[in-house]
Amino acid sequence: MKYFIDSSYIIALVNENDSLHEKSLEYLNLIEENECYISNLILNEVITVIGNKIDLKTAISTFNLLYDIFLIIDEYEDKDFNYNNMLIYEKYQTKLSFTDCSII
């Protein structure tokens, strides 16, 4: 199967102090056994949060791990990506982050 992985899951997986860390471990086999994707925006969000909540060293190792494990979608290959994403963001009236709207 193919899965698109959200930043919240990856952050919970990496951050042992996250309230969902233990739960995230239960799904680790899905990542290992399937074709899993993230986008550049997810990568950006994960590295920023890990760097801020943990430290630079962990952010760097997480970055390398993401490149090893996931297939990374370059959403900027679509020249209208930001414009189309803004339409979704507007529709949800800031209830979703710009990154979450990109997943839609």
Note the pLDDT of residue 93.
Answer: 93
Residue 97 to residue 57: CA distance in whole angstroms: 26
pLDDT in tens, 19-59: 999 999 999 999 999 999 999 999 999 999 999 999 999 99
Query: Does 8 share its domain with 43?
Result: yes
Domain that holds residue 41: 2-73
Query: Does 64 share its domain with 50?
Result: yes
Residue 96 to residue 64: CA distance in whole angstroms: 27
Query: Does 68 share its domain with 79?
Result: no
- The residue behind tokens 């995230």 is 24
> Please, how many CA atoms are within 13 Å of residue 55, restricted to the half-sphere of its CB?
2
Query: Does 56 share its domain with 66?
Result: yes
Query: Does 69 share its domain with 80?
Result: no
pLDDT in tens, 75-97: 889 899 999 999 999 999 989 88
Whether residue 16 has pLDDT greater than 90: yes
pTM score: 0.85
Query: Does 84 share its domain with 62?
Result: no
- The residue behind tokens 């102090």 is 17
Number of domains in the chain: 2
